[in-house]
Chain A
Amino acid sequence: MPYFGSEETVKELKRALSNPNVQADRLRYKNYITKVIRYMTQGLDVSALFMDMVKASAKVDIVQKKLVYLYMCTYASDKPDLALLAINTFRKDCADPNPMVRGLALRNMCNFRMPGMTEYIEQPIVAGLRDKASYVRRVAVLGCAKMHSLQPNTEIDGIIVNELYALLRDPDPVVVVNCLRALEEILKDEGGVVINKPIAHHLLNRMKDLDSWAQSEVLTFLLRYHPRSDDELFDVLSLLHAFLQSAHAHVAVATLRLFLHLASAHPAVQADALLCTSAPLLATCGAASRELRFTGLCHVQQVMRSQPGLFGTHYKCFFCGYSEPTYIKFRKMEILVELVNDENVALVLEELRSYCTDVSPELAQAAIAAIGRIARTYSEKCLDILTGLLALKQDHITSAVIQTFRDLVWFCPQSTAAVCQTVEACVDSPQDSEGKQTLLWLLGEHGEQISSAPYVMEGYIDGLKTELSSAVKMELLTTAVKTFLCRPAETQDMLGRLLHYCIEEESDVCVRDRALLYYRLLQRGVEETRKVVTGPKSDPSMSVLTGRQEEPISQWASTFNTLGLLSGRDLCLQTAVISAADQPSNSTGKELLPDVTLSSPNDTEEEISLSLGPPLSHETFEKMWLDLEILHRQTLGSPRPRTAPDTLQAALQLVKIQTLAFTPGDTVLWKAYIYTRSTGTLILAELLQGDPQAPGSDESLVVSVKQQPVNQHAIRGFASILKSVLQTLNVDSS
């Protein structure tokens, strides 16, 4: 019972450890030490025993030594003064004739994470680097990195760095790789270890001696080396070719990454390398361990971005097994969708069809969505399947099918007639709010083709009182107005009832506002309403017709074989935050800008597009704000919008301006900080009302803009977008 009476336990142990009788009996002594470690593992604070444990370290039993060392490393940072007492034992052990003991002592000494350690460990480390036992050298080399991490801001010790570079020629392969690792850590701020031609070729020749971990890492280090000529390049590649089919998935993938990187100017070589690796990748996708299988699938997915045909014939490898976890099944389905071609479409669809009735609703819905994606090319077959699924009358399936229909109609307008027919025949209506909204959208958008549309809608209007979701109510309003526009005779009465209810009795403000909006719009006339309410009925970009484009390999090669690939987009953002916070002046931000940009909805004199990009932390913003000069100051000519803060934030988000902070409510000196990105520049701005220094600003907002790097064009664009948003908001709220 470690948590109860822990003081008692510690006292008891202390008594036992200092008992000379126990100390004399080696076995009993060791048992007590084991007990201490066991309590430590269980989370009990046994740091009070430090003195007794230091004494125990002088004993000869090597396992006991290891335990005591482990204990000391854990508590050294809490008891730095006592830890210093142990140093002598360590230094003595560092000179032990047994290399095992030397290595052990050195390793643990370097693991003491407390200030002031450096002066004690430097000498043993330097001695260890020249030790004749490779076991000690391995430890010493990494010790250099540990020493540096203890005092990261001190100047880099040139002698040690040179020594490490020299040890790259060590006969022991692990020492070689440890040198690379240590140099990488030590020279982190200078861009890591330098791989020049002799080093690169030396490493390439040693590759086959290394274990798989080391191979994988050396391959990553070699990414830094650029062969001078094509001849050299091909020499390098031919040396590495065998590793493309390594037994270890991580080595094969690391080799592929290096190939893609080195041969960026030779697409044929890249394609060849991809072909070579396709077998090991497929094998990884069938690996016994699910995590590796998942990794394999992620890599396959990435390769397919450039070479969609590569795995076409192996589509059966991506059929889901019964016991696989859902995250693997999801990936497999995504891949299957991409792999579909004329030959395999029937089998793939049959397979996906069997997933649709899976017990897990998430999986079933994903399978239905997957069929929907395939339907964009093979609509007829898929629509048959989807229609068949409706007959099952399962709520989650019906809802998912309807949602799939919506996407299909949007992306693939030629299937509209068939979909409308099915929806018409579908008696069962979805029960969840997402499904309801979708069905309503379909009814509103294609009301003229679904003869029963007004009656289905009427059912919803009659059940309005029991409807909980305000999103459904809003969708219902829109649908009713749209249907009214195409079939006024049947709908007029129910639209009236709906508007009346929503305006008079509805408690949700948003729904009420929406109803009022439509009511006033209709007052302006039908034509006016039509102009506002109807939008495009299908994806205007017609992406389906052009198909998915094959991306160049360079687009993804940089993230290949990294963690980012597995966790998808989230991680990219994560790392972006870190890098932005670390080095605000760096231009890495440019690459990290997401590709989704939205051009401003208002006409500005020049085209300018803003984007949100990765979020900035408050600290980063503050730091940058203090560092930068104000580049532009302008009165916006409109007062602060009297809307709710959320509305303001949402409106700004719509035009891709992020709100960082603003003063609450009706403070006299109202301020807001916002930021956005545009074509490689970051724009920071402050909105201020009631600034006494700015002339004539008692009512109107003043914006001050800072930017990095400077781009006047972007600032003008930003100001005009901001201006129009604020004006729109003011008009709405007044």
Chain B
Amino acid sequence: MAASAIFILDLKGKVLICRNYMGNVNINEIDNFMPIMMKREEDADLSPVVIHGSTHFLWIKHSNLYLVAITKKNTNAALVYSFLYKLVEVFTEYFKSLEEESIRDNFVTVYELMDEVMDFGFPQTTDSKILLEYITQRGHKLEVGAPRPPATVTNAVSWRSEGIKYRKNEVFMDVIESVNLLVSATGSVLRSEILGCIKLKVVLSGMPELRLGLNDKVLFEITGREKSKSVELEDVKFHQCVRLSRFENDRTISFIPPDGESELMSYRLNTTVKPLIWIESVIEKFSHSRVEIKVKARSQFKSRSTANNVSILVPVPSDADSPKFKTTTGQAKWVPEKSAVEWNIKSFPGGKEFMMRAHFGLPSVESDVLEAKRPITVKFEIPYFTVSGIQVRYLKIIAKSGYQALPWVRYITQSGDYQLRTN
């Protein structure tokens, strides 16, 4: 990939951190970046690749920072972006939140990390777990044993160190499904997809071998259990620890897990499910006087499940004022900085319907600025429930030392990009 240099800039384009990996670009090239960006922004012609002469800037923005990679080669762009995002991930792991302040406060660690993750423009060790083993935020004294490169840096199993020991051996498994939904203003579902992932928190000693059984449709067909309830998974992706060849052969998911938290697999389902929370809205705008909003929310899942922390964000004109609300349940409040009404419902059982009415005043003088038609967005989570019906049938833990370990499994469904357009 060969990124010649990587920069971290603040929003004004001032360099906070720079690392010139290859030495084949002038470090001052970065001064061209911001002016081009500003011009592009004015022309509404922003693009993630900025070109100046023979220098290409590939950038991403994270909170109030720009991360910019400079390259002079016709490299694999997806790789560079993935790397920049990986960098964000690593920094976030270290500093909790990645922003200007945390970069300034931790610049020593930032330099240390940037030295390890890339050398001469090539990615080296980017796994934050391994990095955390030998770059800590506390300084080390050589006498008391400076950090040695962890065994993982040399291991055959590169994602797990040897000699891990716990008193109590446990595995926590979270099956998380997030629902992306886009509904048109006329009420027809434009897009509905489920993104699932299985997350692990492993507290196990030694080098255990795990085997996971799901109600996978293909597996059930092989083993002749077609009658049982099963799920057809699409686009399954695994953590590198899963033996892909075995999965290809007999659909067994077997692996040596990484220590601590990790994402074991992800999948996608394109099936059209009934939207879990359906919103009907009427937004009536009487120019120069008022806006009246009527929102009806209906939960379309079985009544034994309950959605928690439901938050429905309904857009209102930015110049609206003096709000009045009436709800059958939950609380509604006006969020002027988002120009929206936020209707929060702590607990929303399945098969119920709730209403919210809002009334806003409008100024008599209308602004000329055309307002965008923003969608209604919904956030929620439903514990102990998966939309797809995926189930963990078993999770076997085979350890050489033969200790007993407990697997814990949780299910949760949450909203992803859940939008309903308004008129």
For residue B406, CB closer than 8 A to chain A, the reply is no
Provided the pairs A359-B372, A360-B44, A566-B49 are in contact, do residues A213 and B79 lie with their beta carbons within 8 angstroms?
yes
- Considering only residues 197-220 of chain A, those with a C-beta below 8 Å from chain B are 208-209, 211-214, 216-217, 220
Is the pair B190, A351 in contact by a Cβ cutoff of 8 Å? yes
Of A67, A289, A296, the contact of B60 (CB 8 Å cutoff): A289
Give the distance in Å from the alpha carbon of A561 to the alpha carbon of B80 in the complex.
Answer: 11
Is the pair B139, A61 in contact by a Cβ cutoff of 8 Å? yes
Give the distance in Å from the alpha carbon of A561 to the alpha carbon of B85 in the complex.
Answer: 18
For residue B112, CB closer than 8 A to chain A, the reply is yes
- Give the shortest distance, in Å, between B244 (CB) and chain A (any CB): 5
For residue B132, CB closer than 8 A to chain A, the reply is no
The 0/1 profile, CB within 8 Å of B marked 1, for residues 90-122 of chain A is 000000001111010001000101000000000
For residue A260, CB closer than 8 A to chain B, the reply is no
Stretch in B70-78, B162-170, B392-400 with 4+ CB within 8 Å of A: B70-78
Is the pair B120, A181 in contact by a Cβ cutoff of 8 Å? yes
Which residue in chain A gives the minimum CB-CB distance to B47?
A327
Is the pair A64, B139 in contact by a Cβ cutoff of 8 Å? yes
Provided the pairs A61-B139, A360-B44 are in contact, do residues A321 and B417 lie with their beta carbons within 8 angstroms?
yes
Of B48, B112, B141, B142, the contact of A66 (CB 8 Å cutoff): B112
Q: Which residues of A contact B84 (CB under 8 A)?
A: 291
Give the distance in Å from the alpha carbon of A216 to the alpha carbon of B147 in the complex.
Answer: 30
Q: Which residues of A contact B236 (CB under 8 A)?
A: 245
Give the distance in Å from the alpha carbon of A578 to the alpha carbon of B56 in the complex.
Answer: 14
Provided the pairs A98-B146, A149-B23 are in contact, do residues A216 and B268 lie with their beta carbons within 8 angstroms?
no
Which residue in chain A gives the minimum CB-CB distance to B109?
A63
The 0/1 profile, CB within 8 Å of A marked 1, for residues 182-195 of chain B is 10110000110100
For residue B248, CB closer than 8 A to chain A, the reply is yes
Give the distance in Å from the alpha carbon of A70 to the alpha carbon of B111 in the complex.
Answer: 8
Give the distance in Å from the alpha carbon of A220 to the alpha carbon of B16 in the complex.
Answer: 33
For residue A653, CB closer than 8 A to chain B, the reply is no
Of B78, B238, B268, the contact of A250 (CB 8 Å cutoff): B78
Stretch in B121-129, B220-228, B293-301, B407-415 with 4+ CB within 8 Å of A: B121-129
For residue A567, CB closer than 8 A to chain B, the reply is yes
Q: Which residues of B contact A216 (CB under 8 A)?
A: 1, 76, 79
Stretch in B93-101, B148-156, B325-333, B347-355 with 4+ CB within 8 Å of A: B148-156
Count A-B pairs with CB separation below 8 Å. 233
Is the pair B149, A213 in contact by a Cβ cutoff of 8 Å? no
Which residue in chain B gives the minimum CB-CB distance to A325?
B46
Is the pair A289, B108 in contact by a Cβ cutoff of 8 Å? no
For residue B15, CB closer than 8 A to chain A, the reply is yes
Provided the pairs A70-B111, A249-B82, A291-B60 are in contact, do residues A317 and B191 lie with their beta carbons within 8 angstroms?
yes
For residue A604, CB closer than 8 A to chain B, the reply is no
For residue B237, CB closer than 8 A to chain A, the reply is yes
For residue B367, CB closer than 8 A to chain A, the reply is no
Q: Which residues of A contact B51 (CB under 8 A)?
A: 567, 570-571, 574
The 0/1 profile, CB within 8 Å of B marked 1, for residues 167-195 of chain A is 00001111001100100010000000000
Of B24, B56, B149, the contact of A149 (CB 8 Å cutoff): B24
- Give the shortest distance, in Å, between A300 (CB) and chain B (any CB): 12
Of B71, B120, B125, the contact of A174 (CB 8 Å cutoff): B125
Q: Which residues of B contact A674 (CB under 8 A)?
A: none
Provided the pairs A283-B235, A351-B190 are in contact, do residues A63 and B44 lie with their beta carbons within 8 angstroms?
no
For residue A563, CB closer than 8 A to chain B, the reply is yes
Is the pair B191, A249 in contact by a Cβ cutoff of 8 Å? no
Provided the pairs A61-B140, A295-B78, A321-B419 are in contact, do residues A578 and B54 lie with their beta carbons within 8 angstroms?
yes
The 0/1 profile, CB within 8 Å of A marked 1, for residues 348-388 of chain B is 00000000000000000000001111110000000000000
Of B1, B17, B78, B374, the contact of A249 (CB 8 Å cutoff): B78
Is the pair A294, B76 in contact by a Cβ cutoff of 8 Å? no
For residue B158, CB closer than 8 A to chain A, the reply is yes
Give the distance in Å from the alpha carbon of A275 to the alpha carbon of B74 in the complex.
Answer: 26
Provided the pairs A66-B115, A321-B417 are in contact, do residues A211 and B82 lie with their beta carbons within 8 angstroms?
no
Q: Which residues of A contact B337 (CB under 8 A)?
A: none
Is the pair B153, A134 in contact by a Cβ cutoff of 8 Å? yes
Give the distance in Å from the alpha carbon of A133 to the alpha carbon of B48 in the complex.
Answer: 39
- Give the shortest distance, in Å, between B159 (CB) and chain A (any CB): 9
Interface size class of B (residues with CB under 8 A): 35 or more
Give the distance in Å from the alpha carbon of A142 to the alpha carbon of B125 in the complex.
Answer: 14
Give the distance in Å from the alpha carbon of A163 to the alpha carbon of B235 in the complex.
Answer: 42
- Give the shortest distance, in Å, between B150 (CB) and chain A (any CB): 9
The 0/1 profile, CB within 8 Å of B marked 1, for residues 20-64 of chain A is 000000000010001001100101000000000000000011111
Q: Which residues of B contact A247 (CB under 8 A)?
A: 237-239, 266
Give the distance in Å from the alpha carbon of A578 to the alpha carbon of B73 in the complex.
Answer: 11
- Give the shortest distance, in Å, between A319 (CB) and chain B (any CB): 5
- Give the shortest distance, in Å, between A23 (CB) and chain B (any CB): 16
- Considering only residues 210-264 of chain A, those with a C-beta below 8 Å from chain B are 211-214, 216-217, 220, 242, 245-250, 253-254
Of A212, A279, A325, A563, the contact of B77 (CB 8 Å cutoff): A563
Is the pair B108, A34 in contact by a Cβ cutoff of 8 Å? yes
Provided the pairs A142-B120, A142-B122, A213-B123 are in contact, do residues A245 and B77 lie with their beta carbons within 8 angstroms?
no
Interface size class of A (residues with CB under 8 A): 35 or more
Give the distance in Å from the alpha carbon of A664 to the alpha carbon of B368 in the complex.
Answer: 52
Q: Which residues of B contact A99 (CB under 8 A)?
A: 148-149
For residue B107, CB closer than 8 A to chain A, the reply is yes
For residue A350, CB closer than 8 A to chain B, the reply is yes
For residue A138, CB closer than 8 A to chain B, the reply is yes
Give the distance in Å from the alpha carbon of A325 to the alpha carbon of B60 in the complex.
Answer: 13
Is the pair B83, A37 in contact by a Cβ cutoff of 8 Å? no
Is the pair A562, B44 in contact by a Cβ cutoff of 8 Å? no
Q: Which residues of B contact A248 (CB under 8 A)?
A: 82
Which residue in chain A gives the minimum CB-CB distance to B43?
A362
Which residue in chain A gives the minimum CB-CB distance to B27?
A74
For residue A290, CB closer than 8 A to chain B, the reply is yes
Is the pair B46, A135 in contact by a Cβ cutoff of 8 Å? no
For residue A516, CB closer than 8 A to chain B, the reply is no
For residue B232, CB closer than 8 A to chain A, the reply is no
Is the pair A563, B75 in contact by a Cβ cutoff of 8 Å? yes
Which residue in chain A gives the minimum CB-CB distance to B40?
A327
Is the pair A350, B184 in contact by a Cβ cutoff of 8 Å? yes
Is the pair A61, B235 in contact by a Cβ cutoff of 8 Å? no
Provided the pairs A70-B111, A208-B244 are in contact, do residues A565 and B77 lie with their beta carbons within 8 angstroms?
yes
Is the pair B154, A212 in contact by a Cβ cutoff of 8 Å? no
Give the distance in Å from the alpha carbon of A564 to the alpha carbon of B375 in the complex.
Answer: 35
Give the distance in Å from the alpha carbon of A440 to the alpha carbon of B58 in the complex.
Answer: 43
Q: Which residues of A contact B126 (CB under 8 A)?
A: 211, 213
Q: Which residues of A contact B73 (CB under 8 A)?
A: 563
Q: Which residues of B contact A350 (CB under 8 A)?
A: 184
Q: Which residues of B contact A249 (CB under 8 A)?
A: 78, 82
28 A-B residue pairs with CB within 8 Å: A37-B107, A100-B148, A100-B149, A107-B115, A135-B149, A135-B154, A149-B24, A171-B156, A172-B153, A211-B158, A213-B79, A216-B1, A217-B79, A245-B235, A247-B238, A254-B79, A292-B85, A294-B47, A295-B77, A295-B81, A316-B191, A317-B191, A322-B372, A322-B419, A359-B370, A561-B78, A567-B56, A575-B74
Residues of B within 8 A of A (CB): 1-2, 15-17, 22-24, 44-49, 51, 54, 56, 58, 60, 71, 73-79, 81-85, 107-108, 111-112, 115, 119-120, 122-127, 134, 139-143, 146-149, 153-154, 156, 158, 180, 182, 184-185, 190-191, 193, 234-240, 244-245, 248, 266, 268, 370-375, 417, 419, 421
In the A-B complex, the 8 residue pairs with the smallest Cβ-Cβ separation, listed nearest first, are A247-B237, A250-B78, A213-B123, A135-B149, A60-B142, A250-B79, A291-B48, A291-B81
Residues of A within 8 A of B (CB): 30, 34, 37-38, 41, 43, 60-64, 66-67, 70, 98-101, 103, 107, 111, 113, 133-135, 138-139, 142, 145-146, 149, 171-174, 177-178, 181, 185, 208-209, 211-214, 216-217, 220, 242, 245-250, 253-254, 279-280, 283-284, 286, 289-292, 294-296, 316-317, 319, 321-322, 325-327, 347, 350-351, 354, 357-360, 362, 561-567, 570-571, 574-575, 577-578
User: With A61-B141, A216-B79 given, can you name 5 additional A-B contacts, CB distance below 8 Å?
Assistant: A41-B107, A211-B240, A295-B77, A296-B78, A561-B76
